[in-house]
Each structure stands twice: as C-alpha cells, then as structure tokens.
Amino acid sequence: MKLGYFPGCSLHGTSREFDESVRAVSGPLGIELAELDDWSCCGATSGHATNHLLGVALAARNLALAEEQGHSEVLAPCAACFNRLASARHEIAGDAELAGRVGKVLARPFSNKVAVRNVVDVLRASAGTIKERVTTPLKDLKVACYYGCLLVRPAEVVGFDDPEDPRSMEEVVSACGATPVAWNRRLDCCGGAFSLSRTASVVRLGRAILDDARKAGADALVVACPMCQSNLDFRQKAMNRDRADADPAAVAGRDSVGRDSQSRPASPPSPMPILFLTQVVGLALGLDAKTLGLQRHFVSTTDFVGRAQATVEAPVAAGGV
C-alpha cells in the first residue's frame, strides 16, 4: 500500500513521537509513505476560525499537491489535520461556487479526487497483518481507546465506522494482544483548542476522562490525536493539583470541622501513560521503544513498556519525565 503522507505541523513539532511511530510501523505493515513535497499548514484551528475561504483553501492546497504528485490517497495522522482536509474535500465537492473561489485562490489544477485517510482507518485495514506479525503480544495489558471529537465527527464528513459507537481502535488494540476496556468517556471532548484560553476547563475535562478510564481498569489511554495526547499527558499534574485544591481539608485527612477523618481519602491517582495508537502497534511488533518516541512523553511509559515486553529477554526501557 502506497500513501501520500501529510504529517502536518504538530508531527514536526510538539508531537514528534507520533510521526516517529507512524513511520516506524509503516514498514513492517507493508505501507509505503511518501511525504508530500512542499506541504503547508492545513489551517487548524485558527485558519478556518478566522476566514472560511482561507480555511478551505489551506487544506485544498495540500490535496492539490497530492494530486500533482500522483497520489490517490493521503494519510493525515493528526486528527485535526485529517478533519480539516476531509472537511475541505467535502465542502468543495458539494458547493460549485466555493470550488470556483478555491480554484482561483490556488491558481493551480485541482480536481478534488484525493481520498483522505486517518491513521486509525489505515491501521484497522491492516489489523490482520498486525495480528500475523506481532512478536510481543500485549497480553495482560488493558487500554482505554479514546477517540475524542475530530476523528468521528461530523459523520457525513469523516465517514468513520460508527460516530456513536466506533470500534476501529479496539480492533487494532485487540490485534496487538491487549484488552480494550469498556468505558463511558471515549467520545468526550478533551478541551482541544481551549488549552491556552480556558485551561481550567481543559483540566476539568481531562480529569473526568482519566478518572473514568481508571475506573474501567485501564493501564493506559490510547489516542490518535496530538492535541488530545498533549492535553491528557502534559496536564496530569495540574489535574491532581486542582483535585487537591478543591477540598484541601479532605486531602489533609480532616473532616469539614477540622477533626481527623476516620477514613482517610485515597492518595492522588498514579499518572496514566497516554500512548499513540501507533506506539501500541509498534510495541506489539517488537519495535524499540526509543524508535517509537516513548521517551518523549511527560508521564513515564517505562512501566507500561516493561510490562509489554515482559516476555522479551532484554526489554528496552522507555524514559519519561
């Protein structure tokens, strides 16, 4: 399988480990990636929020490049990039007047024939190959598959397997030998682009997501979105700090009138590693943890990787902050 590859800004910067793991697993799965020459930002999020035509044209430019470079399909691993490219393709196909305006902006041939695929879709299509080539089955590991917003909505644009009850990530995780847990918040929003403007809301939403995953018995959360990974990985200290600030007396082991509480509250929960789906696949395929970028996370992945590689004679440690 040969795909045009649109890494987007995040995978070249803050989510470098996502790019590393996508490239690392593609070879063993027989997927050839050809990075688009001269690709540019897709406009997420500020572009389309500022100017609709600009937002569509920014994404369309990259689709036009894919056409020029001979690709019928392009992989956009970042959920936001995937959503923007797919939305632009959908809007242009359904609005001739918009298509004409975008064509003038692009000033280059564009027939809007390139299909846009996300990394979950590509891995699901390769689930059989993953299962055949697993060298380190992730047995005894439970993971919570987190979809968030942009992969599954809007349904008429992204064409995901089921916008209300998707199963694609669970199929991939199962092919790796791990157990996907049943939980309630796998489609909830993590706060996305409000990470800087409304940080408290992001912390609150993230805490609810992780608490639900822990309640379901998950050892790790699995994502396919750089923003979700960043919010849920980087902000776990703030989640626990805000949890303590909300009820300092309870954290101190005292009741509301200052008496010692007979049932002291539990300690703050242990941090939960937030892995990209490609990293989970890579571990199951026996790839080196550093090759998959697992040392780049804020929450350490060492314990999860150690358990994943428990059957290997010389497991590779993964660092973390």
Structural contact between residues 290 and 275, judged by C-beta atoms closer than 8 angstroms: no
- For residue 191, pLDDT over 50 is answered with yes
Residue 252: its pLDDT value, please?
Answer: 47
Tokens standing for 203?
């912390």
- Compute the distance between CA of residue 135 and CA of residue 253 in angstroms, rounded to an integer: 47
Which of 227, 156, 218, 233 is CA-nearest to residue 184?
A: 218
Residue 249: its pLDDT value, please?
Answer: 46
Window from 166-170, 235-239, 251-255, 299-303 with minimum mean pLDDT:
251-255
- For residue 247, pLDDT over 80 is answered with no
Structural contact between residues 78 and 8, judged by C-beta atoms closer than 8 angstroms: yes
Instruction: For the beta carbon of residue 313, count every other beta carbon within 10 angstroms.
Output: 5
Mean pLDDT, to the nearest integer, of 32-46?
Answer: 93
Name the burial class of residue 54, with classes exposed (0-12), middle (13-18) and buried (19+) by CB atoms within 10 angstroms of its CB.
middle
* Angle of helix 79-94 versus helix 226-234 axis, rounded to 10: 150
pTM of the full predicted structure? 0.90
Mean pLDDT, to the nearest integer, of 173-193?
Answer: 95
Mean pLDDT, to the nearest integer, of 33-41?
Answer: 97
Tokens standing for 241?
């700090």
| pLDDT tens profile 194-212 | 887 889 999 999 999 999 9
Structural contact between residues 159 and 208, judged by C-beta atoms closer than 8 angstroms: no
What whole-number percentage of the chain has pLDDT above 90?
A: 80
Residue 241: its pLDDT value, please?
Answer: 87
Residue 261: its pLDDT value, please?
Answer: 47
